[in-house]
Amino acid sequence: MFPEINGGFGNENYFAETLPLCAPFAILWFFVRQSIDRWLGPFLAGSGLIFVLFVSGSRVAHVSLAFLACCWLIYEVGRRFGSWALLALTLVAVAVSAFFVWHYLDAILHFPPIQARLELYINSIALWLERPIFGSGLGGFDYHYGQFQQFHLTFFSEYPNLFPALRTRFTSPYGFSVAAHNEFLQILVETGVVGFLIVLCAVVLLLRRFRTNPERSVLRHAGVVAAIIFTIIAMMNFPLRNPATAGLGALIFGVMAQGDGGQKSPANWSIHLPKATIFIPAFSAVLGMAFILFASGNMLMASRDYTISQMTKERFYGRSFFHIRRAYDKMPNSVLYRRNLFGSYVEWAIRNLDRYSLPLSFHKSFYEVGLSAGSQNPGVLLSRIKLLFALKLNEARRAEIETLLRTLKRNVPFLHEVNYVEGVYATGVGDTARAARAFEKANTILADSEKRNLR
């Protein structure tokens, strides 16, 4: 009867993150109002938290809100009874947590959100160790993660008792996570130790500013609670990459960094500047907002085209290719659109090789677009093998297919499609023994697959 709510970006976690961040400021309404409508704040905050716990479908919210309740209890004890009581309660909380982790480790590791995140964290650390100083660059996680997405399966294969829950498999070569699901780890991966230390210095300066400011208003307390919630979310998801939670994060940390009383510094008025320069910041803000609105409209239309492409890719290959091409034209910087464009082109091209005389330059240009999304991306390399196999095989193409298969079997040996494609290729070249081995391994992996659930 009621429509399903999946948040603003199709994931219940996004909605479940936004509501708790708004809750402290909704409760703030109770303290700043004196009329009967002051109760609207606690009512909205309570309704939002009930929705998050029982309706949203986000299992991560249960963990984060439980952790928040523990932080609130420790904070209240420290405020009321002093630092020694705070230290004692913290030690008790750590001891109780260690006891439960020790006795229920297997159940905890098999909890799907924790299981999948543990997999992501191990693979992300391996990615960071490739470029530890300066990182892989902004956006580099999505570009490089395909090469490491099954590192945990190969590295820990000799230690099955260490992480018994690490049996997750990837059901699609294109369907790996685009974020580390831990902002601190993702910052480390993309900007290295240098960038991480810069961010850490900014956080330390923010905390110092907060501690030296004597103001302890209700707004500041709401900001502290919201900042704790934001930090908890950042340890399990990616709030800085979701526009709604990123905007709230800027508001929260702005509240924490505000000055004492908001007095304007006389230094701002001691320098005599031309009158026009006073309007430059406002004028720049208007231009920036116009650009953001234009880009948001482009992003919205590109997202619509991408969704249509995914809905039609199983049956209407031409339509799927048309829409992913439009999405790429609107947002060519999107790694997601670039790697899916080549895959969609290959699915359309191999079904129309007899109808159209597609020049090799077409294949090459779309392949280069795919490679720009990750030179060892499994989906792109598998699509390349499909295209080469559909064309007339010669020695050069067979050698390229063998090279691509070696790369795939080194990076993602437990991906079902890799072994299946190898079986099809071996059948085509007449190597029946190799084909039988590849199909057998593909069927074993498929039967043992567990679909990841990061929510």
Distance CA(421)–CA(424), nearest Å, equals 5
**Does the pLDDT value for residue 245 go beyond 50?**
yes
Name the burial class of residue 359, with classes exposed (0-12), middle (13-18) and buried (19+) by CB atoms within 10 angstroms of its CB.
exposed
**Distances 233 to 67, 115, 117, 182, 322 between C-alpha atoms, Å:** 10, 17, 13, 8, 38
Query: Are 84 and 138 contacting, i.e. CB atoms less than 8 angstroms apart?
Result: no
Torsion angles phi and psi, residue 220, rounded to 5:
-65, -40
Query: Are 425 and 434 contacting, i.e. CB atoms less than 8 angstroms apart?
Result: no
Predicted local confidence at residue 3, as pLDDT: 43
- Kindly give, in sequence order, each residue whose CB lies less than 8 Å from that of residue 39, ignoring residues fewer than 6 positions away: 30
Residue burial 421-453, b: 16+ Cβ < 10 Å; e: rest: bbbebbeeeeeeeebeebbebbeebeeeeeebe
**Does the pLDDT value for residue 9 go beyond 50?**
no
107's torsion region: left (phi>0), alpha (psi -120 to 50) or beta? alpha
451: which strand partners?
169
Predicted local confidence at residue 197, as pLDDT: 92
Higher pLDDT, 219 or 266: 219
**Distances 317 to 309, 313, 343, 352, 353 between C-alpha atoms, Å:** 9, 5, 11, 10, 13
Cα 160–Cα 166–Cα 168 angle in degrees, nearest 5: 135
169: which strand partners?
451
**Does the pLDDT value for residue 276 go beyond 60?**
no
**Does the pLDDT value for residue 25 go beyond 80?**
no
The token duo for 141 is 């996680």
Percent pLDDT > 70 in the chain is 74
The token duo for 132 is 């530890």
Maximum Cα interatomic distance, the chain, rounded to a whole number of Å: 85
The token duo for 169 is 């498999």
What is the mean pLDDT of the segment spanning 197-222?
A: 78
**Does the pLDDT value for residue 385 go beyond 80?**
yes
Query: Are 342 and 380 contacting, i.e. CB atoms less than 8 angstroms apart?
Result: yes
Predicted local confidence at residue 86, as pLDDT: 75
Q: Which of 99-108, 187-196, 276-285, 360-369 has the highest mean pLDDT?
A: 187-196
Whole-number mean pLDDT of the chain? 75
pLDDT band at 188 (very low <50, low <70, confident <90, very high): very high
**Does the pLDDT value for residue 443 go beyond 80?**
yes
Predicted local confidence at residue 410, as pLDDT: 84
Query: Are 151 and 126 contacting, i.e. CB atoms less than 8 angstroms apart?
Result: yes
DSSP secondary structure letter of residue 163: S
Residue 451 DSSP SS3: strand
The DSSP result for 106-130, as a single string, is: HHHHTSHHHHHHHHHHHHHHHHHHH
Residue 16 DSSP SS3: helix
pLDDT band at 424 (very low <50, low <70, confident <90, very high): confident
DSSP secondary structure letter of residue 333: T
Predicted local confidence at residue 166, as pLDDT: 58
Neighbours of 195 (CB within 10 A): 18
What is the mean pLDDT of the segment spanning 189-214?
A: 84
Query: Are 112 and 166 contacting, i.e. CB atoms less than 8 angstroms apart?
Result: no
Torsion angles phi and psi, residue 429, rounded to 5:
-95, 0
DSSP secondary structure letter of residue 200: H
Predicted local confidence at residue 214, as pLDDT: 66
Q: Dihedral (C-alpha) 416, 422, 426, 428: value to the nearest 10 degrees? A: 90
Predicted local confidence at residue 267, as pLDDT: 43
Predicted local confidence at residue 207, as pLDDT: 79
Cα 154–Cα 155–Cα 160 angle in degrees, nearest 5: 90
Give the model confidence (pLDDT) of 57-71 as tens digits: 666 666 667 776 776
The token duo for 149 is 């997405």
Name the burial class of residue 404, with classes exposed (0-12), middle (13-18) and buried (19+) by CB atoms within 10 angstroms of its CB.
buried
Place of tokens 């239309």: 301
Predicted local confidence at residue 223, as pLDDT: 80
Give the model confidence (pLDDT) of 259-273 as tens digits: 544 444 444 444 444
Residue burial 37-54, b: 16+ Cβ < 10 Å; e: rest: eeeebeebbeebbeebee
Closest CA to 253 of 222, 232, 289: 222
Predicted local confidence at residue 7, as pLDDT: 45
Predicted local confidence at residue 169, as pLDDT: 46
Closest CA to 233 of 19, 56, 48, 24: 19
